[in-house]
Amino acid sequence: MDSGAGTKPGRPRGFDAEAALERATRVFWEQGYDGASLADLTAAMGITRTSMYAAFGNKDELFRLALERYTQDGTEYAADALGRPTAREVAETFLHGAALASTRPGYPPGCLGVQGSLAAGPTARNARDALIAWRNEGVTHLRDRFQRAVDEGDLPATATPVDLARYVMTVANGIAVQAVSGASRAELERVATAAMKAWPL
Amino acid sequence: MDSGAGTKPGRPRGFDAEAALERATRVFWEQGYDGASLADLTAAMGITRTSMYAAFGNKDELFRLALERYTQDGTEYAADALGRPTAREVAETFLHGAALASTRPGYPPGCLGVQGSLAAGPTARNARDALIAWRNEGVTHLRDRFQRAVDEGDLPATATPVDLARYVMTVANGIAVQAVSGASRAELERVATAAMKAWPL
DNA sequence: ATTATTCCGTACCGATCGGTACTTAAAGGC
DNA sequence: GCCTTTAAGTACCGATCGGTACGGAATAAT
C-alpha cells in the first residue's frame, strides 16, 4: 500500500496542467482541430512538445480532454438549463445561454462543440466523431428532460420531446455559426427570443 | 483583332473542367478546406496537380470557384425562396430547402457554406472569410426581401426584417450542423416546420 | 514539315506536419 | 553520498503539405 504522502517521486511538473489545457482549448476553439498545429498549441500552452505528450498523450487525447473541460467550463448553461422547473424555461435558458456563451468577451466566438471539427479529413475524423457524439448527447439530454415535462403535464401530451429537443439544439448550433460569422451578442439574443416564439406552451 | 474561330491554338484540355470542379466541390464539402489536401482533390478530380493549377489557379481559387458553383448548383432553394410571393412562403421554402439540400442522397450531408471552413488556422483564413461573407450575404438578401414584405404590408409593421432574416439563417445553419451530426431528412423537415411556428404571420 | 502554343506527367522543392529518441535536470527514498 | 523516478529541452524522424520546374505530347497556324 502506498504511503499517504501526497508527494510523488521524480521531478515535479513545472507547469500548471489545468491552465495549459485551458489555453489549448481556446486554440482548438478558435482554429479547429485541423487548423491547430502542435506548434500553435504548445506555444499557447507555454510548454514544449515533449511536455505536452507526457502530460496529455497526443493531439487526439488533448482535444478530447479540451472538449471535456469545455463541457464543464464553457457550457455550464446547458446543465443549468436542464435543471429549470419548466420545459419553457429549459429551452429559454439553453438558447439564451448559447447566445451568451457564443459571444463571451475575451473568448473565441462560437462553440467548440460545433466548429472544433465539423467537416474533416482522415486525420481529424476522431475529433469530428467525438463532437458528433457530444452534440447528439445534448439532444438526448434535452429529449429526456422534455419527456419528463410531458409526463408531468408541463408540456401538452401532443408534444414530441425528441423533435423539440432537436429544434432547440439546431437553433443553438446555428447561433454558434452565426457568432463565428460576426453576429453580436444582442443580435443572437434576439434570435433566441425569436426561436422561443415557436414554443408550444 | 482575333479571328472568330472558336478553336484556340495549342493542345486541347483533356478533361471536363466543369465536372472536375464538381468533384472538387464535393471534397471540400465533405472534408472542409483544411481537411481536403491537393492529393485528395486531384484524385477526385481525376487530374494531376499541374492540370489543376493551370486550370484553376491554386487551392484558394479552387475553393472560391467551388463555392461559386455550389451557390448556383447546391443552394438553388435560396433563390427560389426569395422569389416566393409572401414572406411566410419565403421562410418556409428557405428552411425546408435547407433541410432537403443538407440531406440530399448521394451528396455529403450539411452545407459547404457552413462546414467548408468554420474555424480555421492561418492557411484557411481566406476560405473562412469567404464563407463568412457568403453567409452574411444570405442574411442581407433575406433582410431585403422581408423589408419589402413589410413595405407591402405582407408583414406587420412591427416586424424587424433583419431579425427575422437572422433567425431564418440561424436555423438553416443549425440544420446543416445537425445534418453532419447524422440527423435524417425527415427529422430536419420537422425542425423546419417547428421553426416556422415562430413566424409572426 | 516547322513553329507556336497549350496541356499533361514526373519528379522535385522547401516548409510543416504529428510524433519520438536521447540527454539533462530536479525531485524523493535510502 | 547515492539510486530511482519523473519532467524538460534539443534535435531529429518519416510523411505529407501546397506549389513548381521541366520535358514530352498534342493541337492550330504557317
pTM over cut 0.85: yes
**Could you tell me how many CB contacts below 8 A there are between chain A and chain B?**
169
- In the block, residue with C-alpha cell 426581401: B145
pLDDT score at A36: 98
CA of B145 to C1' of C4 (A): 54
Per-residue pLDDT band for A10 (boundaries 50, 70, 90) equals: confident
Cα separation, B201 vs B198, in Å, equals: 9
Residues found in chain B: 201
Asked whether the predicted pLDDT for residue A1 surpasses 80, the reply is no
**Ramachandran angles phi, psi of A133, nearest 5°:** -60, -40
Per-residue pLDDT band for B6 (boundaries 50, 70, 90) equals: low
Nearest to residue B175, comparing CAs of A187, A75, A178? A178
pLDDT score at A117: 98
The reply to whether residue A195 touches residue B171, judged by beta carbons under 8 angstroms, is yes
Say if residues B48 and B42 touch (Cβ distance below 8 Å): yes
Q: Using one digit for the tens of pLDDT, what is the confidence trace for B108-163?
A: 999 999 999 999 999 999 999 999 999 999 999 999 999 999 999 999 999 999 99
In this complex, the residue with its CA at the shortest distance from the C1' of nucleotide C9 is B48
CA of A37 to C1' of C15 (A): 14
Q: Using one digit for the tens of pLDDT, what is the confidence trace for A130-145?
A: 999 999 999 999 999 9
* Mean pLDDT, range B164-169, rounded to an integer: 98
CB-neighbour burial class of residue B200 (10 A; exposed 0-12, middle 13-18, buried 19+): middle
